[in-house]
Amino acid sequence: ACWLATMLVVFAGGMVANGLLGEPILAPLKNTPQLLVATACWYIVFYTPFDIGYKVAKFLPIKLVASAMKEIYRAKKIHDGVTHAAKLYPNAFIIMIIIGTLKGNGAGFTKLIERLIRGVWTPTAMEFLQPSFYTKASLIASIIFVLDKKTDLISAPHALVYFGIVIFLVYFKLSSILLGIHDPFVPFENLSCALLFGGIWDTNPAQIIYLIILTIVFLINLITFTFLMSATLESATIASAISPVCYFAPVLLSLIRAELAPFFVIFPVNGLLYGASIFHNFKSSGHSFEAGDLFTSGYPGME
């Protein structure tokens, strides 16, 4: 039962996605090398003497490296899921998003079955009722991949978009381990519920003012992110002008409401994407790249 539950968790994304697409559910198990590696890891973690395998896996440096590699592979699975669904249903955006999300966090959606195999019945442990951060992140990554693949809304190179998704996943995974930030989307959800579903009328005036400020900061950050992903000189110049607001406003707001500090870990990602965008445009234009160019206004090298 332990091995079966482990294999279900390891290959859950492919199994669930194949079941929805009308393909063989057990097809992911045909990859014998992957199955052997998964079995070896299962044995090392559960059955090595004195729990050496488990303790090594929990050792912080090893855990950080393994977690980063896992998120890189998660990005690949999401991309593969969106690409595969796009071949079968070229115009069905919702199907691409669903398959990409399931590929990214299939283990979350099979949690009920996995626990049932081990003899634990927890009907409330449904990913649809309480989606984890990895489901939300996989959903957002799938949407971005679909927009990049099927629309012209994202003008950035595909490699840069993929790199941004990888940075996003790795950054928040390491944040959850090192900083204890397990779900940075919670403030977004609280804000949406307060503004769109009537919750704002049940709060005091001070809370309403704070939500308005938080909304403004979020919109500024969203606009900056959009400009950074655009390949035009004008939008990049605007982004470089308003990006300091995105970095300093979170500090001020976190002083007001320290419990919402997890919301602000997203802002360094913008800086990474900004640097990657400038580096890409320098390489594309044939210019030499220096570290000081990251602090110039706009995208040098673009005419």
Assess if residue 295 is contained within a domain. Answer: yes
Q: What angle do CA 284, 289, 293 make, to 5 degrees?
A: 110
Q: What is the pLDDT of residue 173?
A: 87
What is the rounded distance in angstroms from the CA atom of residue 236 to the CA atom of residue 277?
9
Task: Summarize pLDDT for 122-136 with one digit per residue, the tens.
Answer: 877 787 888 888 999
- DSSP string computed for 195-221: HHSSGGGGS-HHHHHHHHHHHHHHHHH
Return the SS3 of 269. Answer: helix
Q: What is the pLDDT of residue 125?
A: 75
Q: Assign 286 a pLDDT band (cuts: 50, 70, 90).
A: low
- DSSP string computed for 233-267: HHHHHHHHHHHHHHHHHHHHHHHH-GGGGGGGGGH
Domain range holding 242? 184-303
**What is the phi/psi pair of residue 183, to 5°?**
-150, 90
Assess if residue 134 is contained within a domain. Answer: no
Residue 71, CA atoms < 13 Å, CB-side half-sphere:
25
Assess if residue 71 is contained within a domain. Answer: no
Q: What is residue 290's DSSP assignment?
A: -
Q: Assign 120 a pLDDT band (cuts: 50, 70, 90).
A: confident
Question: How many domains in the chain?
Answer: 1
Give the helix/strand (H/E) hosting 276.
helix 267-285
- Helix 267-285 vs helix 205-228: angle between axes, to the nearest 10 degrees? 20
Q: Assign 260 a pLDDT band (cuts: 50, 70, 90).
A: very low
Question: Could you tell me which of 78, 54, 209, 45 has the C-alpha nearest to residue 144?
Answer: 78
Task: Summarize pLDDT for 84-94 with one digit per residue, the tens.
Answer: 999 999 988 99
Q: What is the pLDDT of residue 178?
A: 83
Q: What is the pLDDT of residue 294?
A: 38
| Residue 95 vs residue 175, higher pLDDT | 95
pLDDT tops 60 at residue 248? no
User: CA 177 → CA 55, 111, 186, distances in Å?
Assistant: 16, 22, 17
Q: What is the pLDDT of residue 205?
A: 66
Q: What is the pLDDT of residue 207?
A: 61
pTM: 0.72
> Which of 192-206, 217-231, 266-280 tops mean pLDDT?
192-206
| Residue 156 vs residue 71, higher pLDDT | 71
User: CA 297 → CA 37, 235, 244, 263, distances in Å?
Assistant: 49, 11, 12, 27
pLDDT tops 80 at residue 47? yes
Q: What is the mean pLDDT of the chain?
A: 75
Question: Could you tell me which of 191, 196, 168 has the C-alpha nearest to residue 269?
Answer: 168
Q: Assign 255 a pLDDT band (cuts: 50, 70, 90).
A: very low
Lookup: tokens for 7: 């294999």
Assess if residue 169 is contained within a domain. Answer: no
Residue type, 238: I
| Residue 106 vs residue 232, higher pLDDT | 106
Q: What is residue 153's DSSP assignment?
A: S
Assess if residue 301 is contained within a domain. Answer: yes
Averaged pLDDT for residues 160-177: 85
